[in-house]
Structure 1
Amino acid sequence: MSLKYAVVDIETTGNNIETDEMIQIGIAIVQNQSIIQQYDSFIHTRLEIPHFIKTLTQIDQSDVLNAPHFYDVKETIYHLLDNCVFVAHNVEFDLKFLQKYFADEGIKFEPKYTIDTVDLSKMLFPTFRSYQLKQITLALNIQLENAHRAIDDAVATAELLIASIQKLKSMPIDTLKQIYHITKQMRYDIDELVFETIMNYAYHPQNVIKRGQFYVFDPSNESFNFKWHDSFEAFYEMIIHSCNYEYRTNQYKLSEMFLNQMLSGQEMAVEADLGSGKTLSYVIAALYFITLKKESVLISTSTILLQNQLLNQEIKKINEALNINLPVQLIKSKHHYLSIEFIQFLMEQDRDNHDSMILKVQLLVFILESDGDIEKLNLNGGRKIYFELMQVLFDQTNVHYLMPKQKHPCIGITNHAHIASIHHEKLFNPFKHLIVDEAHQLLNYFLNQTITDLSYERVKYYLSQIQKTIEYEMTSSKKQSLNMIQKLQKATVEFKQANDLFEAVVLRFLNLNKERISLENDQEIISELVEIYMIFDQYQSLPLNTTINKLSSFLVDAFNPLIHCLMHDQNVFVEIKDFNKSKFTFSFQQHDINTLIDTQLNHFQSKTFLSGTLKSLESLYKSLNIINGEVLQYQQPLNIKAPCFIPLDIETYQYTNRQSYFESIINYIVYFLQTKNAKTLILVNSFEQVEIMKTYLQDALENVVILSQTKNTQTSKLNQQFNDLEECVLIGTQSFYEGIDFQFSGFKCVMIITLPFMHKEDYRLQLLKHQLDHPFFEYTLPMAVNTFEQATGRLIRNKNDQGLLMCFDHRLLNANYKNFFIEKLNKFEIITGDMNQFEKLLQNLS
């Protein structure tokens, strides 16, 4: 007889089991992978249902007023649940509430088995971004129209349980046995579900192969057989027609230019207007080139947004229209992938807790259906900490990574960080042709690669792990010799000394009250860091414990280059974000920027650099040998001149008067938002400015939805939320100046609060200042102009867009470098004036 599952969801007046009460219960009975019975009832409560609960559940007082008391339905509910596996999404909550209600009626309710579908989902769907019921059901195409209604949630959770059983049934029997042995040790009874699957096993898995003790995903070996024997022009027209795109002559010429560049094996730099269709142009050119020459092409982007556009729009649409499977591969270094040996190492660890056991099952499932890319795995909380610790302790020499192997010519997609990385080894050897989109960001990635970071949190984390290991060694075995105990006690003292010294160094910088500090040859700092280093160094090889040895070795490797840079007067910077000790970081330069650029780019036979805003960086990129020739400009005329308003009756911005500056501009922003039905993007230069602006607007406006970026915000998620709302305001920092898709069919407004200059202590400027004659005009200004131009491009992207650009910074009109910015406004009608002129402008735009 197969197991019977009672899937339960209850709604309550709150989360406190002692003071809150049940208001609804829903039960779905599952057997043989089908829902065979349902039960749904409101439950009478004597409590007032809080407004939040009413809004969340759509249950109000009228629903429960004449509903049965629990004692009226206790027998029915008990008999439904009896002899069933008790299942719920966050089972602890529902079970404890029910047990209390049954206990109040003199009934002891202790189900033999319980299963939490939160844990089950984490294990069996390891790539899902969220394990909230609504998000899981969305990902699995399970219907859930009325979330937070008990019966709807219970039925959706039952469907989730059935989907989980079906997934288990599709796995190799050896994998199921491995999962069973892990789950048998866990606090809920998922092992019973796995055991039943094993006992009724009758499936032969597809697309898997045995590697060591594990089954892993076996990708298809099919080659790309698409052939084309006609001209490129005919090829281009065929794709445009098949995908139902509009044929544009200028876009075809741009695509043809990309193709000829690859065929010539030379270099080209192009500035192509936003909205010109450059992405589709180079995808078509690359596909034709692969078909013609049987050589791979590598495309590098700066943002995940553009990578997603490539994969989920351009390439997906061509695949569907032509009924082909383009040879596309995401290219990352091997350290982004799992290895069989690491999984084996992790499985052998016997000091398990709940998180580590979930992680082990996640990995067994993940390698069955994935290429082993760690970034696809949802790791957070305790699982993430445990995973990263195991990575440090694991010896990664002579391992076999699960990264995909390129067997045929393909379009490779990577990011600028990998292009610039000194660690990509032979990753790009199969590629001789490079297309760099968003090339205006490439230099920043090269600069990032020249430096190494040592953060306060990293040092403290490994010191804490060393201390925990010492404590474990001293208490876990009664057979430790007296000599060993004395050595461990000495280690405790010395690691505490290293910790105290490090804290003192950090505190000294905190007391300077600066967020960024450039260090010179500070002998006192060097002396203290050397003393810390010497403690770590002696414990690399002392025969205490291999974990202590490895963690000490890691700390030695981290401190050694920092001390070397300080001793040789190389660039060393300290950054303390928000003056918060936990955000303290040493950054030090280990590589020369020119050498790095030459080494990483000279491998490619042909190189194409393109961006919507590359011309402003031409001189800088030439001086650093990123590009050699002129930047070609490809313009896509839209015949639209949107207004750009610059107020004249506000203060001139200075960092020291930023509070009064914001007070002087707020009237303009509030008036606009109260007058115009629009979607508005407000761009500032720091999170401090985000908070100032948000506070002012919240005080002045009641019925306007205000979204704001924080340091922990995922840009893509906030951008999606912004696009989902009809009329709202988004306040963002420089990460919103570019790479976001500002979607709105109505009137749009982009407000630039201050010109986007980097901080004078920015590490990028410090890295280049000795290589440039005039750092401000050669680097700081071009980068600010480029960022400014990116911001203006958020507004008008096609012929149907309409909107207003506002810039409040008077330096745009008065500074000696104003023309660098003004020339980027050639697609706008510049209007200046006071509030009266602004009011008239808005009337004319109505």
Structure 2
Amino acid sequence: MMQRYVVVDLETTGNSPKKGDRIIQFAGVVIENDQIVDEYSTYIHPGQEISLFIEELTGISNETVKNAPDFEDVAENIARLIEGACFVAHNVLFDLSFLQEELVRCGFEPFYGSTLDTVELAKILKPTSDGYKLHQLAKEENLDHSRPHQADSDAYATALLLLELKKKLMNLPVMTLKQLYRLSYSLQSEISELIDACIASKLAKAEVHSPDLITYRGLAFKKAEDESEQKDTGAEFPLDDEKKIAMLQSAYPAFEARSGQLDMMNMIHHSFESSQDAIIEAGTGIGKSIGYLLPAVYFSKKHHKPVVVSTYTLQLQDQLLQNEVPKLKKILPFTFQAVLLKGRSNYLSLAKFERALREKEDNYETALTKMQILVWLTETVTGDKDELNLTSGGQLFWNRLQSDGLTYAGLKQPWLELDFFERAKRTAAKADIIITNHSFLMTDLLTEDALIPKKGYLILDEAHHLEQAASKQLGSRLNYISVKTVLNRLGTSDQKQLLYKLGRMLLNNGLADGKSTHELDQKLSDFSYEFEQLFYYISNQAEKLSRSMSPKRLSFKIDDGRWGKAILVAERLVDLLGYIITELEKRLALLLNNESPLGKNSLFHLNDIEVLLGHLQDTRDSLHEFFIKPHEENIYWLDYTNAAPQHGVTLTVQPIAGSKRLWDSYFGRQKSVVMTSATLVVKDSFKYFKEQLGLENEPMQTASIPSPFPYKELVKVLVPNDLPDINCLSVEEFSETAANHIIAAAQAAKGRMMVLFTSHEMLRATYHSIKDSGVLDEFTLFAQGISGGSRMRLLRNFQNFEKAVLFGTTSLWEGVDIPGEDLSCLIIVRLPFSPPDEPVTAAKCQLLEKQGRNPFSAYSLPEALLRFRQGFGRLIRTPEDKGILVILDRRIITAKYGPEFQKAIPEVDWHQASIAEMAEMIEKWI
């Protein structure tokens, strides 16, 4: 094993040495024989000014380096330090390239030795980490990292991280190490040398096999937990609230009884026992999750029937299993089993992964993903993709590995016992609580061979999303890239893709027909060309329309004359697909019905073709519905971005009343359905919620349980009185005006502020107005859709910076839990009415007009009130929180419907103030 590593970190004036940026601090930590033996660090005078941003980031100012040596003065020491060592850094390409520039500039030879990137190594050995920034990994591994963005602290933390990663590598079985070694030559740093040394070290002594691992067909796995059924407990739900409180306090002595939580438990128990349906609004802070899980477990145990808990977001689904279920296991006097169940495509197919490992793959991201999965297999018992932190390329590669359930009678199933989805099904069949999501639940209910009991007991959390989830599930989407991906995977008979392999199989079995093969090639070529033309034409039409309509989403009216050409092309495409699908089905049938047995690889190829065939059939059905025979009860629209002509278009269809259809066919047949959320009530009534689901005439128990928080003591609401009416200005004009108030609020609150918008257009305009002004340069600004990264990454980054402002749209209006001082000020820029030309809104409003109802009062206003309540709910998450809400839309004061918004949230003090008064009030309150 390499004996000497030098772990390096640099702080610099910028990101590009070629543009004149310079090093301001160098640190190196020397490791020999797995021990830190030396450290060297120095500030360096860059010969230029250090920007305020770099000073804020690193703590290194112009004053700090005033008397520091120039790089020329320390270059020899640095060159001597790294000579003959393995150069290690967290993102090695950045540190090494910067250092190389400076060494060469000073007349020294560049470094030619081995390199090791701890980012790359961490991705492989910690495939489930939330992120790979140094501070995230240091926190996960509990490493000393007291001064992030200081080179000496960063280098030391990276050295400790390297030692931990080496230990992890040494703990992997030789079988896994050998597979990692084979793939490691596609990596960017010399990780292969480290793996090779680990293999040699382990082979030099007898390997001790971990009792937690099993090996099969050349792969090492974590041993699954016992799937045996739980013993009968004879559990009786404690009807007496005092008994429930005593049980909760025995597990958590600091637990404070919440009457709302107890009421919720009792109501759900009664609903299940009496086979009734219920709607429960549970305010923030009542303990909703335990409120429904506890009675669900008691019911399941007593009656030996599983209770299904479904959420809208995967985040809450995971949170229930990882956080709430362990709490409940501590509370209850008996054991129970709760399992997570997701759609099949979330699970790894071991058969596909085994085949992929045999393929020679030099693509960097594919090799990296294979290595991540090899390590992950020694840790996971679920095979659930959501555990992994994959790159974008890794996500694409996963599509080739996901479980699809297709099997052929002639193909042995060596992985069936270990198959992750099959294991999830077996576990779910024995579980007391099945935790799933609305998307999978609705998909499963629509299948004949459903995993969820057809007449069972359901708890639907985040129920305000039921209608949206149902419409999405019963709808479909068609875009250029997905179809072209299918065509590329299929190929033609001379491209050595799946169609070529199909032709070879037919030839080898004496079943080939040269004429029909040529015709199929021609039809595929025609289809590909016509499909490109269709989407090119649609994008051109969308470009013209977007000049007068929303630039992102456009209604798609099939009977409109401008789409006549698209309809003609779509008709030709449907005919071409009919021929292609029929010919592929014939070829598959010839091979499967042939007397000669097919080899394993041939059957795998047929499996892949059958999957693609399913995609082609979906494409044909979508084209037919969009362009040839649209249904009156559906909404059609296109999403358009001008990033690329064809790539920027997605066609979408959804039913106007999807949830009603699902309820009548499936949910309504369940023994008992409990729907819950923190925001279901509009104007003290469940009428709007029931109407959206088509449940106006369904008998249901209902309860609205208020939050226990004393909001009047925790929140003030400010409405500036020096802002113009939002409807009197353009987006750009109002954004500039709003920017001044946001700047003033940010300075008064010292960051810790979230700004909610109703459109990306206004968010971008306001963000850039503030950014360009330079007034908030000392603040860190994060903007959804601009700053990059997922929603969760944005939230984590926002919480990691002291003076931070987060600009968000749709998905940040709800499901954001930032307790304490991290979020002290919330700004709502505009009352959250949906744009009237938004396709779903427009269709619903047209339907209401046909029914003789007022679309504004029956739909637009209730929808906005619910969204407003959700936005308000971001501010106070615990009884200790304190915050201020600023509303920049004066219609909440001046419009007829303004009082409805004021009454939609708990009773708090409202104030109107000028920009100066607003800033003063914020400073005093928080």
| Pairwise same-fold verdict (TM > 0.5) | yes
Give the Å deviation of 1:37: 2.6
In structure 1, the partner of 2:704 is 633
Determine whether 1:418 maps to 2:440: yes
After superposition, residues 29-428 of structure 1 pair within 5 angstroms as 29-31=31-33, 34-35=34-35, 37-42=37-42, 47-48=47-48, 50-51=50-51, 61=65, 64-65=68-69, 69=73, 72-73=76-77, 76-77=80-81, 81-82=83-84, 86-93=87-94, 101=103, 110-111=112-113, 114-147=115-148, 152-183=153-184, 188-201=189-202, 202-221=207-226, 231=238, 233=241, 234-243=243-252, 244-303=254-313, 306-307=316-317, 310-311=320-321, 313-319=323-329, 327-370=337-380, 371-388=382-399, 400=416, 401-403=419-421, 404=424, 405-406=427-428, 408-421=430-443, 426-428=450-452
1:645 touches 1:831 (CA, 8 Å); kept in 2? yes
Give the Å deviation of 1:303: 3.9
Q: Distance in 2 between matches of 1:674 and 1:36?
A: 44
In structure 1, the partner of 2:861 is 781
Give 2:479's match in structure 1, choosing from 424, 445, 455.
455
Give the Å deviation of 1:402: 0.9
Q: CA 1:116 to 1:493, structure 2 compared with 1: closer, same or farther past 3 Å?
A: farther
1:653 touches 1:810 (CA, 8 Å); kept in 2? yes
Q: CA 1:415 to 1:325, structure 2 compared with 1: closer, same or farther past 3 Å?
A: same
Q: Distance in 1 between matches of 2:36 and 2:232?
A: 49
Q: Which amino acid aligns with 2:469?
A: Y
In structure 1, the partner of 2:26 is 24
After superposition, residues 640-651 of structure 1 pair within 5 angstroms as 640-641=711-712, 644-646=717-719, 650-651=723-724
2:281 touches 2:676 (CA, 8 Å); kept in 1? yes
Give the Å deviation of 1:445: 1.0
Residues 124-153 of structure 1: CA distance to partner in whole angstroms, max 9, x if unpaired? 221123333333233222323344555544
In structure 1, the partner of 2:596 is none
Give 1:564's match in structure 2, choosing from 619, 625, 629.
625
Give the Å deviation of 1:315: 3.6
1:209 touches 1:215 (CA, 8 Å); kept in 2? yes
Determine whether 1:519 maps to 2:557: yes
2:823 touches 2:875 (CA, 8 Å); kept in 1? no
In structure 2, the partner of 1:503 is 536
2:347 touches 2:403 (CA, 8 Å); kept in 1? no
Give the Å deviation of 1:516: 1.4
How many positions carry a matched residue from both structures? 836
Q: CA 1:594 to 1:290, structure 2 compared with 1: closer, same or farther past 3 Å?
A: closer
Structure 2: state its 5+ residue gaps.
508-513, 589-604
Determine whether 1:598 maps to 2:653: no
Give 2:690's match in structure 1, choosing from 612, 622, 627.
622
In structure 1, the partner of 2:807 is 731
Fraction of identical pairs, as percent: 24
Q: Which amino acid aligns with 2:566?
A: I
2:348 touches 2:385 (CA, 8 Å); kept in 1? yes
Give the Å deviation of 1:199: 3.6
1:752 touches 1:806 (CA, 8 Å); kept in 2? yes
In structure 2, the partner of 1:573 is 636
Q: Which amino acid aligns with 1:519?
A: K
SS at 1:352's partner residue? coil
Give the Å deviation of 1:440: 1.5
In structure 1, the partner of 2:784 is 710
Residues 580-622 of structure 1: CA distance to partner in whole angstroms, max 9, x if unpaired? 4443210124795432233442453222112222122733443
Residues 512-542 of structure 1: CA distance to partner in whole angstroms, max 9, x if unpaired? 2233123223543211123345556655657
Q: CA 1:631 to 1:785, structure 2 compared with 1: closer, same or farther past 3 Å?
A: farther
- Between stretches 175-184 and 423-432, larger displacement belongs to 423-432
Q: Distance in 2 between matches of 1:744 and 1:417?
A: 33
- Between stretches 710-719 and 807-816, larger displacement belongs to 807-816
Q: Distance in 2 between matches of 1:770 and 1:648?
A: 36
TM-score calculated relative to the size of structure 1: 0.84
Q: Distance in 2 between matches of 1:600 and 1:10?
A: 59
Q: Which amino acid aligns with 1:690?
A: L
Q: Distance in 1 between matches of 2:201 and 2:914?
A: 79
1:305 touches 1:739 (CA, 8 Å); kept in 2? no
Give the Å deviation of 1:334: 1.8
1:57 touches 1:148 (CA, 8 Å); kept in 2? yes
2:820 touches 2:878 (CA, 8 Å); kept in 1? no
Q: Distance in 2 between matches of 1:655 and 1:463?
A: 50
Give the Å deviation of 1:26: 1.2
2:45 touches 2:69 (CA, 8 Å); kept in 1? yes
Q: Which amino acid aligns with 1:517?
A: S
Give the Å deviation of 1:557: 2.9
Q: Distance in 2 between matches of 1:646 and 1:128?
A: 42
Q: CA 1:446 to 1:150, structure 2 compared with 1: closer, same or farther past 3 Å?
A: same
SS at 2:366's partner residue? helix
Q: CA 1:16 to 1:844, structure 2 compared with 1: closer, same or farther past 3 Å?
A: closer
TM-score calculated relative to the size of structure 2: 0.77
After superposition, residues 509-548 of structure 1 pair within 5 angstroms as 509-513=542-546, 514=549, 515-521=553-559, 522-534=563-575, 541=583
Q: CA 1:252 to 1:568, structure 2 compared with 1: closer, same or farther past 3 Å?
A: same
Q: Distance in 1 between matches of 2:475 and 2:728?
A: 28
Give the Å deviation of 1:827: 1.8
SS at 2:210's partner residue? coil
In structure 1, the partner of 2:765 is 692
